[in-house]
Structure 1
């Protein structure tokens, strides 16, 4: 996923997860992505959710993003580093070489993030100049792109509930940041009085608050966790809600339910992009 090139405002950085949790998840997700690569899947197959990419290109993109983040954090970069400056950032071609490259990539990134801790000063595109931003961003970069890879390979996909919920939080924070930093972006038509979206994970537990309200006010998109009435509601298992909200799962899947003004949710999914 590409990032907006703006540091005009600082995004809301609230997270319920620790730096170590993100580091653990990066290692876990890299292992699961490696399993897709070595599953015997055709690496030349088109990724349905990223139709401009083959599975091989998706994996190389994801590993390259991890190596880019590792370089930023390791060097305590004060400005953006061009992709071409990242050593071995393009990645190899064959399944075996890709597997080894991903393993090395994951080890490098996790070690660098753990050494830096969450508060080291590092440039970021969202105006959040910390290593902690990159730990979270790369955890969810992997979470979502592994879903892309699993769909392309025809393999099952699962993700831990705390990671799925935090992925929704982060996506909403990114949308909020883009709305504040780039007020004339393509999502401006979403805003209007009385418009709101509710996300409801039907398998949430008392320990995990997995409901969200997104208010599309006249000035800016704002959101909070909680159960509240809305113009439209998206209901289903947490993983399915997360994938649908990231446009990785169609709304007409049997495990999902849309209540209310479906057109507003469809417009949200169409317009809330960045890059």
Structure 2
């Protein structure tokens, strides 16, 4: 497994916080329901996302060796003012600056508690990059705004999600991911746009294949196995990398015009129904 550089994650967290702040200050209705997280309003989504960043900031800064209860995190739930974009924006700005500073000061190898057993600050830099990247998609969908993400971040978000699904299969006996067992079945994720050198240094290939970014996922008898590349599979999900990312995280319907599903669509739906951890 080859990760992005620690500084790249830190830079992206700062960038994503800025983009999320722009949603908050765009004039969007903070009370609007988030279509992809219907239990939350837009304001509740933003408070959840900022609260997660504050929780991680405290653990990284203090080098916590066990999980810290959320109630111990100052301003974890956001500013006291409700429905106030300016207050929410200021809270997010302070949150982003604090977590990026804590992660940069710690470096990737500092020992910090982590729920997958990866006990480093680097784990949290990556996890929070994709936490805010995906929740910003939720926010932009709620606000009716366009969404895009850098190819290297989108690709790494998919890889991390595959790793989390595999971890859940190995570790959580009651998680729906344990049902993802279909020997002989496979899923091919195929990005059709120009993703640049997104996989350079991340596989045995020196340059990306001409047909675009790809991952092949095999559903075995025990846990999933996945690899970079392009192969014939039981079902293929094709589209621009951002659209593939959003569909794989269940943020974009498979019937969206940007996407194409080839082969046994039922297998992809089977995956999306059960790959739900996090």
Structure 1 and Structure 2 fold alike (TM over 0.5): yes
Distance 1:259 1:77 in 2: 46
CA contact (8 A) 1:186 1:271 kept: yes
Residue number in structure 2 paired with 1:239: 242
Once the two structures are TM-superposed, the CA of residue 206 in structure 1 deviates from its matched residue by 5.5
1:1-275 matches, cutoff 5 A: 14-92=1-79, 93=82, 94-205=84-195, 207-209=197-199, 210-275=213-278
Once the two structures are TM-superposed, the CA of residue 220 in structure 1 deviates from its matched residue by 0.9
Normalising by structure 2, what TM-score?
A: 0.92
Distance 1:108 1:177 in 2: 29
CA pair 226-183 structure 1, distance change in 2 beyond 3 A: farther
**Cα RMSD between the aligned structures?**
1.1
Distance 2:251 2:176 in 1: 20
Asked which structure has the greater RCO (Cα within 8 Å, sep 6+), the reply is 1
CA contact (8 A) 2:177 2:277 kept: no
User: What SS is found at the alignment partner of 2:96?
Assistant: helix
4+ residue runs over 2 A deviation: 182-185, 187-190
Once the two structures are TM-superposed, the CA of residue 182 in structure 1 deviates from its matched residue by 2.2
Normalising by structure 1, what TM-score?
A: 0.93
CA contact (8 A) 1:117 1:132 kept: yes
Matched pairs, number? 262
Q: Which runs of 5+ in 2 are unaligned?
A: 200-212
Once the two structures are TM-superposed, the CA of residue 123 in structure 1 deviates from its matched residue by 0.1
Distance 2:187 2:250 in 1: 15
Distance 2:175 2:96 in 1: 34
Distance 1:221 1:254 in 2: 29
Distance 2:147 2:188 in 1: 24
Once the two structures are TM-superposed, the CA of residue 136 in structure 1 deviates from its matched residue by 0.4
Distance 1:42 1:122 in 2: 37
CA pair 206-147 structure 1, distance change in 2 beyond 3 A: closer
CA pair 148-206 structure 1, distance change in 2 beyond 3 A: closer
Distance 2:221 2:263 in 1: 20
Distance 2:112 2:90 in 1: 28
